Amino acid sequence: MSPMMTIAKREFRSYFDSPVAYVVICLSFLGLGLMFFQFDGGFWEEDRASMVNLFKYIPPGLAMLVVPVVTMGLIAEEKRSGTLEMLITLPVKDSDVMLGKYFGALGLVLVLLLSTLIYPIAMFWKPWMLGSLDWGPVQSAYLGLILFSAAAVSIGLLVSSLTDSQAVSFFVTFFILLLAWYIGRSADWMGGTLGEVLRYISFETRMSGFMRGLVDTRDIVYFLSIAVVCLTFAFRKLESRKWA
Amino acid sequence: MSDVMIQADSLSKEFGQVRALDKINFEVRKGEVVGFLGPNGAGKSTTMRILTCFISPTGGRAKVHGFDVFDEPLEVRKRLGYLPQRAPLYQDMGVWEYLEFAAQIRGIDASAFRTRLKKVVEVCGLAQVLGKPIGELSHGYRQRVGLGQALIHDPPILILDEPTADLDPNEKAELLRYIKEIGKDRTILLSTHNLNEVEEACARAIIVSKGRVVADGNLDVIRSRGGSLRYTVAIDEVSAAPGKTPPRADEVQAALQGLPGAQRVAEKPSDETVHRFELVSAQDDDLRATVFRLAVDKGWTLLELQRDAQSLDSVFRDLTRGDEKLDRGASWKESNVDDSGAKSEAREEAN
């Protein structure tokens, strides 16, 4: 196993060694269930074979709770406790450390995300068959959510590498992701070119295609570039310790 | 390849305006166990972090096992076992798990790991805690796990940053025993500010102060470099020879100061019954006889006369004197810096 995979595996497992993974998974499911079935009339009232409501709640939930919690400790805690020095002085490249941490955290987010597949499967396939679901948008929505998670986790990782306080990391990540999600709505009252730009770059807009079953290369590239840019900066930040 | 395992060649490191290392030069050869000594803030950890490629030097070069720390960090790290200060380990992992993690990163396969683990558990005394989470271990055991981690790949070179700090005397003695055992067939660079440990485990010491090497050589050579000897003199405050009165403290101090060869006299804390002084003379003077005769002449009762057995300690203090002016807070410095007697006293107590 490569050093990167070893680090990723350790990171992933460490969520399960502490209560983090269990708390995040349980509460997320509870929250998602409540939102999906009860909030605002919920699924039953809508009376349609559609998963749109599910996808309406997953991304903000991921962005504002799950990703900040999962990524806050990635580098910040290692810096605070000094374990980063131990890790980096093992024969690993700085890029292995960053990518390992990234994939470890992304792994947990994806486990959580993919386990929400239980909703469409249980409701529209087995054991219940509540109606005939159009699976196309479901597939594209999950593709979108995976890309969205990849970008969000990279933002969290970058923020975590800039501080050594988990609390600061949590709130900054939370705020950035909140802003990135809702900023497009400001276009309504802002208008003009700036409004258009904000609408264009908002995560909500970029996700809306995936939700409707529309896979646009521009959206894919958008999320992937965010991930690449954030990972690069995080890597540079880690390297900069050498010259501090 | 030559047998130089660690080579620092005018290494410098600046943190902003602060010069932490100022052209440090030294070599460590194969099989040596070297004590890297200095007060806090002298540059010990900085040097070690450069050698382990955690940070880069601002100037100069360093080679470990023939590999440049800047150009080939991975090759260097493969050949090193490193224990950073305070052994920072993942608290939520078990001991076994952690050692396995270190081994996997180093590319040791499962069967080789088992063999190595057996050896490491034996050498570091980890058998009882192998299944426990690291967070539940005492500091001494954590330090041992850290040492185990540094040994898991059987490295030719070990760098240990203050491995005995914060340990109780028993744990310290035990850890030093492990280090001696390990040092039989390895090169070890070991930093500390405790001189007894160096005497215990190392044959050679490098003393750094304010980012420079101020002494480098085997312990006897360094000891002889000290240039001064210390004596403890205690005079009875209550009784004296028949017909004589017991002296006051200032009388004793003046008399000792007046002895030929006495360089410095400082009062040490004592109870109501004795005056205790520390007397410093040049290396080649022996003042014991003179002190004895002084007491006889004056009719004082000499209760204690001892030449400092830990002369390495005093060498260290002489060589690194003034360092504290640099490190400690300014207000503190103003009020205490002249009071060197009391301060060295305090440090002696700490040791």
Give contacts of B 59-88 with A, CB under 8 A: 74, 77-78, 80, 82, 84-86, 88
CA nearest neighbour of A113 among A70, A176, A155:
A70
**Cα of A9 to nearest chain B Cα, Å:** 10
User: Is residue B271 within 8 Å of residue B186, measured between CB atoms?
Assistant: no
Token pair 């003695």: residue? B173
CB contact under 8 A, B91 and A81: yes
Domain definitions of chain B by residue range: 4-224, 226-351
Provide the Cα torsion B155, B160, B166, B171; round to 10°.
40
Express as a percent the part of chain B with pLDDT over 90.
50
Give the strands of the sheet with B4-15, arranged side by side. B18-29, B4-15, B59-64, B67-68
Rounded CA-CA distance B239/B236 in Å is 6
Q: Which helix (H) or strand (E) holds B335?
A: helix B330-336
pLDDT at B339 over 50: no
In this prediction, residues B98-114 reach a mean pLDDT of 95
- Mean pLDDT (whole number) for A167-179: 96
Record the pTM.
0.84
Q: Check if B106 contacts A (Cβ < 8 Å).
A: yes
Domain covering B4-224, topology: Rossmann fold (3.40.50)
Selecting from B89, B106, B146 the residue whose C-beta is nearest the C-beta of A90 gives: B106
In this structure, the strands spanning B33-37 and B187-192 are parallel
Write down the mean pLDDT value for chain B: 85
User: What is the per-residue pLDDT for B48?
Assistant: 95
Cα–Cα distance, B155 to B30 (Å, whole number): 12
- A111 to chain B, closest Cα gap in Å: 21
pLDDT of residue A235: 96
Which one of B65, B105, B161 would you mutate to disrupt binding with A, by most A Cβ within 10 Å of its Cβ? B105
Local confidence band at A191 (pLDDT 50, 70, 90 cut-offs): confident
Closest to A21 (Cα-Cα) out of A95, A97, A115, A143: A115
Residue of A nearest to B75 (CA): A91
Per-residue pLDDT, averaged over B51-71, amounts to 94
A7:B105 CB<8 A: yes
pLDDT at B323: 57
User: Is cis: bond before A127, omega within 30 of 0?
Assistant: yes
Q: Which residues of B touch A244 (CB under 8 A)?
A: 15, 55
Mean pLDDT, chain A, integer: 92
Q: For the ranges A165-169, B106-110, B139-143, B177-181, which has the lowest average pLDDT? A: B177-181
Query: Are B93 and A14 in contact (CB < 8 Å)?
Result: yes
* Interface touch A88/B54, C-beta < 8 Å: yes
The rounded percent of chain A whose pLDDT value lies above 90 is: 67
- R_g of chain A, CA atoms, integer Å: 19
- Say if CB B295 and CB B321 are below 8 A apart: no
Question: Checking DSSP bridges between strand B228-240 and strand B274-282, what pairing results, if any?
Answer: antiparallel
Architecture category of domain B226-351 in CATH: 2-Layer Sandwich (3.30)
Is pLDDT at A74 greater than 50 in this prediction? yes
Residue A141 pLDDT = 94
Domain coordinates of chain A in residue numbers? 3-243
Q: For chain A, say whether B102 makes contact (Cβ under 8 Å).
A: yes
Q: What is the mean pLDDT of residues B226-254?
A: 86
